[in-house]
Every structure is written in C-alpha cells, then in structure tokens.
Amino acid sequence: MSDDVWRRAEIESPCKKLCSVHPVERICVGCYRTIEEIGSWSRLTPDARRAIMADLPGRAPRLHKRRGGRMGRIEG
C-alpha cells in the first residue's frame, strides 16, 4: 500500500513514522508533538495545525541534550 492513500488536501502531518514518546519530555521523538496534539490533529483547524508546526523545530533541542555519561561529567 502506498503512503499516498493517507494524504489529504489539508496541511500535512509532521509525522516521521518514528513514533515513540520521550518519557521525560512527553513529546514524540519523531515529530516533536505532544500526545494531546497527535490525538487531536485531525480535529484541529488548519491555523491551529500551522501554529503547532511552526513551534515544532524549537522543541527538537529538548531531546538532543546530553543527559549524563562520561562527557556529561567532564564538560562544564
């Protein structure tokens, strides 16, 4: 089955098909949306979806911070 089946005329989903929610940040590691945003995506207005999409790049650094290990101890 082709991915084209899921495309609509509205704003595209930011889904990257890497669906896993970060246990601390509580955002998807693929698209950076919250569980609530993912669950309500199809019911949101196009403007609301655009606003979320504009905010997503700013969420990425929350998942790329070093959380420890040797380099976490010696940097600083």
In this prediction, residue 36 has a pLDDT band, given cuts at 50, 70 and 90, of very high
Which 3 state secondary structure label does DSSP give 76? Answer: coil
Q: What per-residue confidence (pLDDT) applies to 32?
A: 96
Predicted TM-score of the model (pTM): 0.69
Which residues on neighbouring strands pair with residue 21, listed in sequence order? Answer: 28
Q: Output 76 or 42, whichever has higher pLDDT.
A: 42
Q: Tell me the pLDDT tens digit for each residue of 19-32.
A: 899 999 999 999 99
SS3 string of 2-71? CHHHHCCCCCCCCCCCCCCECCCCCEECCCCCEHHHHHHHHHCCHHHHHHHHHHHHHHHHHHCCCCCHHH
> Considering the chain, what is the average pLDDT of its residues?
82
Residue 38 confidence (pLDDT) above 80: yes
